[in-house]
Amino acid sequence: MLASAVGKLDGKEFISHAPGYWSRDGGMPTELWNDWKWQLKNRVTSLAQLERHIDLCEEERSGVLLSGDKLALAITPHFFNLIPRENPDDPIRRQVMPRIEETWTSPYDMVDPCGEDSHMPVPGLVHRYPDRVLFLVTDRCAAYCRYCTRSRVVSGVGGQYNFVAMAHALPEARSILTLRSTRDKNSTVTSNILWSYGNTTIPRHLRDIVVTEYGVADLRGLSDQDTIAALLNIADSRFQDGLKREAQAAGKLRLDHRIPDLHRNNTPRALEERFILARARGLFSEFPFGTDFTGEEIVLAKALTRLKEKSTGGWLRVKTVGLAAASRGTPSAIRPYLERMSLNAPKTRQEWLWQRLLVQELRDMA
């Protein structure tokens, strides 16, 4: 294998073995291979990816097929290159390769071997010792070690999966997963309903009820084709055609499938229009169970969120700052918001720029 170094050559540089198994893909530029975001995006997460590069023993193959029941499979290309092709008992290979033995339960097994759950006053904070705390800031890792003492919570399997499995185990119980159909990041809208996702943790036999702002899909007992059709009906209409084409290309949806007209207008604007009359009567407020926020604070929260999305970098950030700096005057209706943010009388150039950015965003929202 080739090796490349990142950083100063002082003995502390990161050495990455590249391209290794990826040489059959025509190699990989060093700057791309050493990009941690590329490593995460191209993790090995499926049986097909594993079998493309190495020969699995029966224990490993069975373990991969059942990996969604406890701890997900994920191995970065860099880590994967350290695994020998022919030796299933290699310690590095055993560290990250699922095996069927993981599903066996012994009398001496412990769900929480470090005793963290009993010392967790709030989720994500472990307080075992009086002078220190441990923050569990994420449940995702670049690669999942099979001996992990937190396998009950990391990778998304031990949490969501257990709730879903419980709903199927209890008499007459149902599992309901709720989500927004889209997400907006850096002013780019993407679908939360995807054709392919690397960390899927719910097996098909445990599919149940899925709810978006556009409706309910009852998936329990449905075939793959009927499941896809039901999810298309509650997806945002901007992404329905693309998802439909992907499903048809994979042979999972009939070529003559037609999304009903009732579900072809799943858009934010259409949703708002449906609630106009009800909201005029005081129904369906943004906070149906009440809130401590004032009306001004609710508006400011939206404006600041939009500003954050526009200010992440690139041309959009330059455009946003340029328009704000060039703007003049402050409408009287906006002054209460500036007072709430203590920006009504900026004292520095930075505060002046913050004021202009907020004024411009509030103008746009109006």
Cβ neighbour number for residue 236 with a 10 Å cutoff? 22
CA 52 to chain centroid, in Å, comes to 26
pLDDT of residue 259: 97
**What's the CATH number where 241 sits?**
3.40.1080.20
Residue with tokens 């207008």, as numbered in its chain: 265
Kindly state the average pLDDT of the residues 220-239. Answer: 95
Sheet holding 176-178, edge to edge: 176-178, 209-212, 215-218
Round to the nearest angstrom and report the end-to-end CA distance of the chain.
59
Same structural domain, 251 and 206: yes
With respect to residue 86, please indicate whether it lies within any of the assigned structural domains: yes
Strands 3-6 and 215-218, by their bridges, are: unpaired
With respect to residue 263, please indicate whether it lies within any of the assigned structural domains: yes
Tens-digit pLDDT profile for residues 145-174: 988 888 777 765 555 666 787 788 788 889
With respect to residue 357, please indicate whether it lies within any of the assigned structural domains: yes
**Tokens describing residue 97:** 């390769």
> Is the pLDDT score of 23 beyond 70?
no
Counting every residue written for the chain, the total comes to: 366
pLDDT band at 245 (very low <50, low <70, confident <90, very high): very high
pLDDT of residue 1: 39
Same structural domain, 214 and 247: yes
Q: 81, 104, 127: which is the final residue of a domain? A: 104
Domain that holds residue 223: 177-270
Same structural domain, 248 and 304: no
Same structural domain, 8 and 100: yes
Q: Are 74 and 141 in contact (CB under 8 A)?
A: yes
With respect to residue 172, please indicate whether it lies within any of the assigned structural domains: no
Tens-digit pLDDT profile for residues 268-278: 999 999 888 98
**Tokens describing residue 333:** 């209706």
Kindly state the average pLDDT of the residues 291-297. Answer: 87
| Distance (Å, whole) CA 120 – CA 304 | 33
With respect to residue 224, please indicate whether it lies within any of the assigned structural domains: yes
> Is the pLDDT score of 7 beyond 60?
no
> Is the pLDDT score of 2 beyond 50?
no
Tens-digit pLDDT profile for residues 200-213: 667 778 899 999 99
With respect to residue 123, please indicate whether it lies within any of the assigned structural domains: no
Amino acid (one-letter) located at 236? D
**Which element (helix H / strand E) includes 295?**
helix 295-310
| Distance (Å, whole) CA 278 – CA 284 | 7
pTM for this model (two decimals): 0.53
Tens-digit pLDDT profile for residues 61-111: 888 887 766 788 899 998 998 888 889 999 999 999 999 888 787 777 777
- Contacts with 309 (C-beta within 8 Å, 6 or more apart), sequence order: 184, 185, 186, 187
Q: Structural domain tally of the chain?
A: 3
